[in-house]
Amino acid sequence: MIIFPAIDLRDGKCVRLIQGDFDKETVYSDDVQATALKWQACGAKFLHVVDLDGARAGLPQNLDAIKKILDAVKIPIEVGGGIRTLDDMERLLDLGVRRVILGSVAVENLDLVAQAVKRFGDRVVVGIDARNGFVAVHGWEKSSAVKVDDLAKKIVAAGVTTIIYTDISKDGMLSGVNAEIFATLAKLSGAQIVASGGVKSIEDIRALKAVESDGVVGVIVGKAIYSGSLDLSAALRELAT
């Protein structure tokens, strides 16, 4: 299992939101390179970067900050937020991003997802962000009538092998994870699932590690490592045992 430290970008700064609410923002650093290097030094093998401005605007907005991260670290990064076209994907991949995360476009244009997989292979993953079993889109500001299970099956049929599943109700809340919902989606869809939302402590890492055999291959950690409720180095050591 891979632990992905999250770097959420807004106006070029590293921030965290509560349940995706742009009015509930905490700025953790205006030096994204230092933040990325900190998590790399802790032993992280992969970084999860979200362009929050891009998610809201519908096209990438923080390319300069992403470039700074790429220049600073030696580990791969994945980027999501506002990626809606093949050109958007190609621009980020050419910049050095290891893989791109498609979100809202997967709900609105599955044909594009299939085209992206055909062109870029497993460098394309899809993020499903959900409230109460239904998919949220456009920076989590809008809910859809699409059920998570139905979308996951369609995404896998389009060729996607990895899904990042975010439980919005728990995001930024430090309320603990529900490991079973991630395991259930993995078994139902046949996709590899990266869990996101609610991680608070080492117990959450252990709970997710216990369902790794079901197809939960990674976990994104955000507020927990910024607030100090989870020690990233200790969490990585836990997975190594």
Q: Which residues pair with 102 in a beta bridge?
A: 126
The neighbour count for residue 34, using CB atoms within 10 Å, is: 12
CA of 165: how far to CAs of 73, 84, 112, 126, 189, in Å?
Answer: 26, 19, 20, 9, 12
If DSSP codes are grouped into helix, strand and coil, which group holds residue 218?
strand
Distance of CA 96 to the CA centre of its chain: 17
* Token pair recorded at residue 164: 């990042």
Chain centroid, CA 211 distance in Å: 19
Residue in this structure with the two tokens 């905490």, named with its chain if needed: 26
Structural contact between residues 200 and 174, judged by C-beta atoms closer than 8 angstroms: yes
CB-based contact 54:65 (threshold 8 Å): no
Binning the chain into helix, strand and coil, the percentages to the nearest 5 are: 45, 30, 25
Which residues are known to be catalytic? 8, 129
Alpha helices in the chain (DSSP H): 32-41, 52-57, 63-72, 86-95, 104-108, 110-120, 148-157, 179-189, 202-209, 223-227, 232-240
| Distance of alpha carbon 50 from the chain centroid | 7
